[in-house]
Amino acid sequence: MGIPIVLDPVEAGATQLRTRSAHRLLNELSVAIVRGNVAEITALAGLDARIRGVESIDSTGDAAAVASEFAKQFGCAAAVTGPVDVVTDGMRLMRVANGHPMMATVTGTGCMATSVVAACADVERDSITATTAALVAYGLAGQIAAQRAQGPGTFQIYLYDALAGLTDDVLRAGVRIEG
């Protein structure tokens, strides 16, 4: 139907079932974008990674190299989110420096990032452009939320509000992309 498929391989690498399930989806569907942490993407690329639950502990190599290898292997855009997000299709590479450390303190922020990526992918068919724009917007919302938050609980509430309140002017003023 022309709807881009965005995959969030939650806990791939943590269990054989999750890793096999993600590989099956990648091999049987036409996945446009995969968004995960460095350990999830590393594990799916067949490289050494350590993961505990949804948390990346470490991996071999840097995020850009891992994402590039993964994107080439599976023919899709790869987004590795972390302190600096990496977006690549194996040829083009973007780094998004928007975000805030508090984003890592709230369960579900990765899943929410994937949802924002999917929304952008529905209106922008270039996967790199869509993913980069989504991660800029989401990271910028995190920066705005952190200015008001007093901890993880209020951060989550302010993150939703900040994302809903983003304007073109705020996005243009706050974008931090290297590419």
Residue 114 CA to chain centroid, in angstroms?
6
CATH code for the domain of 92: 3.40.1190.20
Q: Strand, helix or coil at 77?
A: strand
Asked if residue 26 is part of any domain, the answer here is yes
For residue 87, list its beta bridge partners. 79, 94
Which structural domain range is residue 148 located in? 5-174
* pLDDT 10s digits, 74-124: 999 999 999 999 999 999 999 999 999 999 999 999 999 999 999 999 999
Of 172, 174, 137, 134, give the one whose Cα is nearest residue 8. 134
What's the structural domain count of the chain?
Answer: 1
What is the rounded CA–CA span in Å between residue 75 and residue 98? Answer: 26
Asked if residue 116 is part of any domain, the answer here is yes
pTM of the full predicted structure?
0.91
- Residue 9: exposed, middle, or buried by beta-carbon count in 10 A (0-12, 13-18, 19+)? buried
Asked if residue 142 is part of any domain, the answer here is yes
Tokens of 40: 């999830």
Asked if residue 179 is part of any domain, the answer here is no
Q: How many residues does the chain have?
A: 179
* pLDDT 10s digits, 30-47: 999 999 999 999 999 988
What is the rounded CA–CA span in Å between residue 30 and residue 86? Answer: 21
Residue type, 142: G
* pLDDT 10s digits, 135-154: 999 999 999 999 999 999 99
Asked if residue 156 is part of any domain, the answer here is yes
Please report the pLDDT score of residue 60 as a whole number: 45
Asked if residue 86 is part of any domain, the answer here is yes
